[in-house]
Structure 1
Amino acid sequence: MSDTRSGTIAASATVVLWASAFVGIRSAGAHYSPGALALGRLLAGAVVLGVIWAVRREGWPPREAWRGIVVSGVLWFGVYMVALNWGEQQVDAGTAALVVNIGPILVALLSARFLGDPLPPRLLAGMAVSFAGAVAVGFSMAGDGNASVVGVVLCVIAAIGYACGVVAQKPALARASALQVTTFGCLIGAVACLPFAGQLVHDVARAPASATLNVLYLGVFPTALAFTTWAYALARTTASRMGATTYAVPALVVLMSWLLLDEVPGLVTLGGGALCLAGVAVARSRRRRAEESVPASPPVAPEKQR
């Protein structure tokens, strides 16, 4: 299987699992505080990833990769998850979706500035279409319009944390494997969230089993598995194209909410979801002669550990 096809499959698995996190976060968030939910999710993910890393004997990431791993671990695994959990408790789901979806745009701008990623017209056009779809989905899901300023700021912080984390992770993947980068990034995120350990113990003792199972699900699948498939795909394309792929998440959330939560979407919501998917298709399309004038470099094999 070619790197392009395997990367596309990995990216598809990522967005499906991240969309499924919407249901789990909604359920667990009613019984777990934002920091406790993030820490519980990261601890579960770190345990699963640590076992796989030990079984595969991949060794420690090379020194050159640690800077990117630490930055992405703190900002994406740590700050992003806490800020998003907290922000979604302050604003309705529609407002949160609108604000957080500036993240892929920030990824494109930052990767162009710091990684030298090209911004071809197809990518920009696709992101514009997808963002318009995300705006439509957000407005259709919005509540009374009484969005908390604090909640909006927290969602902006989440988007910035996500964007900076992705851009920091990309160079690390040139030196270390996807499993190494994800395992240690998740572990660093968990360490950054340790101040919430007391609240996690408190919440676990009082939360129903269903909420705790949702936390474990979030740790195993949308975190351990999805972040690994994300890193695998990111190593095989540009950060801006991978960021654009996440615009498929709002459309999948609409579908899953319809199927699992009996939340029947309106025509505007369905249209917005269709726009999101159409934009992703355009953003990830490529010309016959060249992908983006500069093909993505294949990942460098991790240094052999002594």
Structure 2
Amino acid sequence: MSEQSEDTSKLLALFAPGAFVLLWSTGFVFAKMALPYAETMTLLTVRFLIAVGLLLVISIIWRARWPKSIPQTLHIAVAGILLHATYLGGVFAAIERGLEAGVAALIVGIQPILVAFVAGILLKEHVSIRQWLGLILGVSGVILVVWSKLQDGLGTSLGVGIAVVALLGISIGTIYQKRFCGEMDLRTGAVIQYTAAAIPTGILAYFTETMVINWTGEMIFAMAWLVIVLSVGAISLLYLLIRKGAASKVSSLFFLVPPTAAIMAWYLYDETFHSIALLGMVMTVMGVAFVNLRPLKRFGLRTRPS
């Protein structure tokens, strides 16, 4: 490897994980930006289908490998439904029903804690005191924030419940993908996953929504960001990180997602965290950090983009 190539790899390993986390954090605020102009399932279905088209072109140009068997393809599709239709559908639906973007980010942000505990149980590994402390802090912090926001009339119990479903979706999906999709090429895999995710969201949109999109300038900008920057750009960045062996650094920075999303939501939508809610945010961030600052190498897990 040349000296210039080594320098490029070092820069990628240094800055790309933080950039990835920053991009993922924007998903919550851009969801809130787009939702006034389209209903949740309609918005996601269109987003998924546009992403499929772009990623299909990328896969063809880069000659990415496709799954070799139907069972492997089906496993990738199931993971896609969990990670995209369930997770993103839950986050978008929760925000559409009044849950603040920062709170939605906080609820699903404890995903690394759940994944670490479930993976530990499945692998019959000892759960350390540090991990137990992280779990207690993280869950208690989320409860404080949610209770404070509901007391202030910001959000609904239904919205919170839907966000919890999103949390379960990404947690189960992460473990499922690790178990059954370890050899998946992220480019062709994303084509399959977004295609699979578009089926349930499309069905729900057809039967429960008007399927009308108001293509304003803000809506076009939000959709372009959600598709190009997140669904395509973040996937490509994660692919590069995995190739360079820096994927674990993304996991180690995952605890920064909720506060980053909260700061963005405060700046764009004047969402604030007062006293008790702010304390809950700090507790949750600390809880996720306790569990996640030590890379989850023994689980072989990596985070997923929004």
TM range, normalised to the smaller chain?
0.7 to 0.9
Query: Which of 89, 106, 114 is the aligned partner of 1:106?
Result: 114
Rate the CA distance shift 1:10–1:138 in 2: closer, same or farther, 3 A.
Answer: farther
Query: Which of 200, 203, 206 is the aligned partner of 2:212?
Result: 203
Q: Return the offset for 1:221.
A: 1.8
Partner of 2:90: 83
Distance 1:118 1:183 in 2: 37
Query: Which of 12, 23, 26 is the aligned partner of 2:29?
Result: 23
Distance 1:113 1:216 in 2: 40
Distance 1:115 1:166 in 2: 15
Is 2:83–2:169's contact at 8 Å kept on the other side of the alignment?
yes
Is 2:109–2:257's contact at 8 Å kept on the other side of the alignment?
no
Rate the CA distance shift 1:207–1:180 in 2: closer, same or farther, 3 A.
Answer: closer
Structure 2 residue 251 is the aligned partner of structure 1 residue 252: no
Q: Return the offset for 1:99.
A: 4.4
Rate the CA distance shift 1:296–1:8 in 2: closer, same or farther, 3 A.
Answer: farther
Rate the CA distance shift 1:273–1:51 in 2: closer, same or farther, 3 A.
Answer: farther
Rate the CA distance shift 1:62–1:229 in 2: closer, same or farther, 3 A.
Answer: farther
Distance 2:298 2:10 in 1: 15
Distance 1:82 1:218 in 2: 13
Is 1:44–1:216's contact at 8 Å kept on the other side of the alignment?
no
Structure 2 residue 157 is the aligned partner of structure 1 residue 155: no
Q: Return the offset for 1:119.
A: 4.5
CA RMSD of aligned residues (A): 4.1
Structure 2 residue 54 is the aligned partner of structure 1 residue 45: no
SS of 2:183 mapped into structure 1: coil
Distance 1:126 1:105 in 2: 7
Distance 2:126 2:224 in 1: 38
Rate the CA distance shift 1:99–1:250 in 2: closer, same or farther, 3 A.
Answer: closer
Q: TM-score, normalised by structure 1?
A: 0.73
Distance 2:246 2:125 in 1: 10
Distance 1:115 1:143 in 2: 40
Q: Which amino acid aligns with 2:259?
A: A
Is 1:254–1:269's contact at 8 Å kept on the other side of the alignment?
no
Partner of 1:71: 78
Partner of 2:172: 164
Q: Which moved more, 1:275-284 or 1:212-221?
A: 275-284
Distance 2:246 2:167 in 1: 21
Rate the CA distance shift 1:200–1:231 in 2: closer, same or farther, 3 A.
Answer: farther
Q: Which moved more, 1:114-123 or 1:161-170?
A: 114-123
Q: Which amino acid aligns with 1:175?
A: E
SS of 1:256 mapped into structure 2: helix
Partner of 2:193: 185
Rate the CA distance shift 1:103–1:293 in 2: closer, same or farther, 3 A.
Answer: closer
Partner of 2:64: 58
Distance 2:218 2:284 in 1: 32
Distance 2:152 2:277 in 1: 17
Q: TM-score, normalised by structure 2?
A: 0.73
Q: Return the offset for 1:273.
A: 5.0
Distance 2:10 2:284 in 1: 22
Distance 1:214 1:284 in 2: 31
Is 2:56–2:188's contact at 8 Å kept on the other side of the alignment?
no
Provide the aligned length of Structure 1 versus Structure 2.
291
Partner of 1:144: 152
Is 1:95–1:139's contact at 8 Å kept on the other side of the alignment?
no
Q: Return the offset for 1:56.
A: 0.8
Is 2:119–2:299's contact at 8 Å kept on the other side of the alignment?
no
Q: Return the offset for 1:114.
A: 4.2
Rate the CA distance shift 1:248–1:58 in 2: closer, same or farther, 3 A.
Answer: same
Rate the CA distance shift 1:68–1:230 in 2: closer, same or farther, 3 A.
Answer: farther
Q: Which moved more, 1:262-271 or 1:82-91?
A: 262-271
Distance 1:45 1:160 in 2: 24
Partner of 2:99: 92
SS of 1:193 mapped into structure 2: helix
